[in-house]
A and B are shown apart, each in its own frame.
Chain A
Amino acid sequence: MSTVAEKELSIPVSTGDAVKDNFLTHTRGFLTWALTLDHKRIGLMYLVGVMSSFTIAGIIALIFRTHLMWPDGNLLTVQQYNQMFTLHGAIMVFLFIIPSIPAAMGNFLLPIMLGAKDVAFPRLNLMSFYLWVTGAIFFVVGLLLTGLDTGWTFYTPYSLDSKGPVVWATLAVFVLGFSSIFTGLNFIVTINTMRPPGMTWFRMPLFLWATYATSIIQVLATPVLGITVLLLTLERLLGIGIFDPKLNGDPVTFQHFFWFYSHPAVYIMILPAMGIISELFAVHCHKGIFGYRLIAYSSVAIALFGFLVWGHHMFTSGMSDVAAIIFSALTFTVSIPSAIKVFNWLATMYRGTISLNTPMLYALNFMFLFTIGGLTGLFLGPLSLDRHMHDTYFVVAHFHYVMMGGTLVALVGGLFHWWPKMVGRMYNEPLGILSAILVFIGFNMSFLPQFVLGTRGMPRRYATYKPEFQDLHIVSTIGAYILGLGLLVALISLLYAIVRGLRAPANPWGGATLEWHCSSPPPFYNFERPPTVHDPYDFRGIEYDEKIQGYVKRK
């Protein structure tokens, strides 16, 4: 992973100008990357890693979407199909979405936005990264051994009977869990103790609030996943019986344990995305974020409520009516803070000065897709409707709208937004805009039909299906190809920056948060002297300067 990062990124930023010392050029050589304690380099290494995982899982998705164009699926055998959707889910969740924004973007941005030199525990940070790599290797072994076909949820007792390399996968999840815990722990401590003078809680950019809330979930929920997969591993190796009905164990207990983590994990995925979107809206509307405090509080509220709603994954599992009703009621509480955020972003646009560039288009994409994702959640929360919708394509479409339309789109938007800061070069704008449009069309074409498939009764995880569902599946597959093409265009636009992009100014967008105060790319220690901290969303006096093609602050 690091070799790739090095090849791509340690190219001198500019040959013409006097090369300013920055974190990319500070030291050279493979080992200075592999053993770096610098949060920015670790962030970039994570980025390369998670994007590679995403590519693999995405290609897998395209293969089985192609398979699903025909009702009796001639392309793959049912076993291959089952293994593919398992790997797609497991890689996307554990290797991509969970570490994507917190570990990759968070590592790069958090200390700079905060005005600190590094995270609180740089060695632990590097260890988290290598834990991630270890987990990824375990998954790759699982991939090579083939046959992991339990679904990413590892539901017992199927995962006990399955002939696939389940132990490799559960150990991978265990290790990745610790990677996630240590990252979260690091961020909480950094935000608590490393704020420079003047950086009060309510002067923190909203991305930091979101990351803080995310980190709390990572620290509190992930250990339970750790013990769950550990017990599952022992179950498979020794047959301890806790989740095995043949030995008086209870499979539903496994589901409770699993979702106690995996539902909050949904907020690990979406909260930092919301943080990115808040930044994008503020900066590209050149206007302070509307209702800063409400957005900040709603992040924390989502994090806390997120712990109480795991049962809604199990409404049909036969748990007691009382439990089901309580979980349903709590589920709706999460919808309110999410709705608040959407309205606040909308209000931020009002009377702003909106630059319709690539990051902003992705932010608008997010608004559209996340609104659909959130509103379709209302159909799954009520108990009666869930009896019909549960485990159908409706659920598949819903969580893709939230996870992918939310998190992935925000991540790509954030990448465009901070790419000049990361590599010191500007990406290709026309290609970026093209990619945003293609992603919009492809995404909706791929997943809107799946809502209809779901209500009509098409169950998920089906390798073959009844012929009457075929039309919608074909539309969905074509959409998936367009989506893939859009993301490819986005990648080209970003790589273009490294090859022949224009040199990026310190502040290309007119942002007011601290990362725009240091040069692009940032120097090794981020700040020569402790920065002066302002309101992160005070855009007065920040004006465009033709000479440097960027924004400067006028006194």
Chain B
Amino acid sequence: MSATETLEHSTDEQHDDHSHDHPDWLAHHFDDAEQQFDSGKLGMWLFLVTEVLFFSGMFCAYALLRSQSPETFAFASQFLNEKLGAINTGVLLFSSLTMAWAVRASQLSQHRTLTATLGMTLGCAAVFLGVKAVEYTHKWGLGLLPGHLYLSQGVPTNEDHEFGERALIWLCVLPAIMLVGFLAWWIQALIQKSTVQLRIAGPLLVAAIMYFAGVGLGRWIESDSSHAGHADHASSAGHATAHPAHASANEHGEDHDHHSSETSSSHEHEEKSFSIAPSVVTLPQANPEQVALPKFGSVPSQDVNQRGRAGLFFSIYYCMTGVHALHIIGGMVVISWLIIKAAKLQFHSQYFGPVDNVGLYWHLVDFIWIYLFPLLYLIT
């Protein structure tokens, strides 16, 4: 079916007595396609302005807090895994490319390319969320929580660690249900040989799978960098590691001669060392020897590692990345909507405004991440 066919098709089923020569993709209150497109575009740009201002509130809070205690930010950002951040940056950049491609495809009425590129964008978003889920739950397990929930030494108990694992499982429940649902849908469409449904269920199914790919990737890199951190620690003491908490935990292990072999997973590592770590949170000043904190530069780590300071960094970290993740989820919803419309071949060179506008939105979400990544992950 080509665009012109759709056009004719739509003009046939006139139901509204006021739309004189209006095709059904043109709303009755607009005079022509150009006016509709311009309105949509301007509306979207204004919406993006509000989005920028929405985030700018948090960027201002970030700037204020960081200027008040730069050393805290330098300290606490050590706990973020910049490899995961970098991978997510790459994934989002790639998704921006596929999104731009999708816009082009819709303008050229290339329906197959449009569905494929939209599907790829959706998949990238899913990978991003999967990696993010690993990052979040790993930190929860380490007690790196916002504000007053922050466990002041970054050395949590066994229970906390299990809490992180459990949280990850909970974060996988909904995607798993969706995965099963999309799979069932896809099989059913396959049996019914419904091309439209296949075109919709396929990308959605891929996206659900990609979420778990993201989770797997995240876990692999997380454990990998833990090993790397351990190796670094072994080779040169005091080197800034990707995961100071791990390093400190390992240090404990060595101190108490419970050093396990290089091949064992970091998970076991942590458990061993945590079992001897104090289960009750005490202030660092109260007992400085009890917890070995990572040493780097001239950062007065004992002072900054407390709820009112490092906790604040994690507050701003969770707020900014959390709101950003919500925007990714919102973007996934509208991209899915586009896929449905695209599968029904509703976009063509006359009418591609929604693809264009969602594209703008997606680029902005990407763009905000480009700022978040260095500001949060690459402070030192």
Q: Which residues of A contact B (CB under 8 A)?
A: 116-122, 124, 181, 185-186, 188-190, 192-194, 219-224, 226-228, 230-231, 234-235, 238-242, 244, 246-250, 253, 257, 525
Residue contact A242 to B51, C-beta cutoff 8 Å = no
Residue contact B311 to A241, C-beta cutoff 8 Å = yes
Residue contact B29 to A122, C-beta cutoff 8 Å = yes
Residue contact A242 to B39, C-beta cutoff 8 Å = no
* A294, B43: Cα distance in complex, Å: 28
Additional A-B contacts beyond A227-B55, A240-B146 (15; CB < 8 A): A117-B29, A119-B29, A120-B43, A194-B30, A220-B49, A221-B53, A223-B50, A231-B58, A241-B308, A242-B61, A242-B65, A247-B148, A247-B311, A248-B312, A257-B60
* A455, B263: Cα distance in complex, Å: 78
Residue contact B308 to A246, C-beta cutoff 8 Å = yes
Interface of B is mostly: helix
Contacts of B50 in A (CB 8 A): 181, 185, 219-220, 222-223
Contacts of B54 in A (CB 8 A): 223-224, 226-227
Other-chain contact of A231, B29, B61, B148 (Cβ < 8 Å): B61
Contacts of B38 in A (CB 8 A): 193
The 10 A-B pairs at the shortest CB distance, nearest first, are namely A227-B57, A240-B315, A241-B147, A248-B308, A240-B147, A239-B148, A118-B29, A223-B54, A117-B29, A223-B53
* A169, B29: Cα distance in complex, Å: 37
Residue of B nearest to A248 (CB): B308
Residue of B nearest to A239 (CB): B148
Given known contacts A117-B29, A248-B308, A231 and B319 CB-to-CB distance under 8 angstroms: yes
Residue of A nearest to B35 (CB): A193
Residue contact A247 to B56, C-beta cutoff 8 Å = no
Residue of B nearest to A235 (CB): B147
Given known contacts A185-B47, A193-B38, A253-B61, A248 and B29 CB-to-CB distance under 8 angstroms: no
* A249, B307: Cα distance in complex, Å: 11
Contacts of A193 in B (CB 8 A): 35, 38-39, 42
Which of A118, A189, A226 has the largest number of chain B CB atoms within 10 A? A189
For the complex, is B64 an interface residue (Cβ under 8 Å from A)? yes
* A185, B43: Cα distance in complex, Å: 6
Residue contact A223 to B35, C-beta cutoff 8 Å = no
* A240, B146: Cα distance in complex, Å: 5
Q: Tell me the chain B residues, 1-49 only, with Cβ under 8 Å from chain A.
A: 18, 27-30, 35, 38-39, 42-43, 46-47, 49
Other-chain contact of B64, A118, A119, A244, A250 (Cβ < 8 Å): A250
Minimum CB–CB distance for A336 against chain B, Å? 27
* A224, B18: Cα distance in complex, Å: 41
Minimum CB–CB distance for B27 against chain A, Å? 8
Minimum CB–CB distance for A247 against chain B, Å? 4
Residue of B nearest to A227 (CB): B57
* A72, B329: Cα distance in complex, Å: 55
Given known contacts A116-B29, A242-B65, A223 and B57 CB-to-CB distance under 8 angstroms: yes
Which of A185, A238, A248 has the largest number of chain B CB atoms within 10 A? A248
* A41, B116: Cα distance in complex, Å: 42
Residue contact B53 to A241, C-beta cutoff 8 Å = no
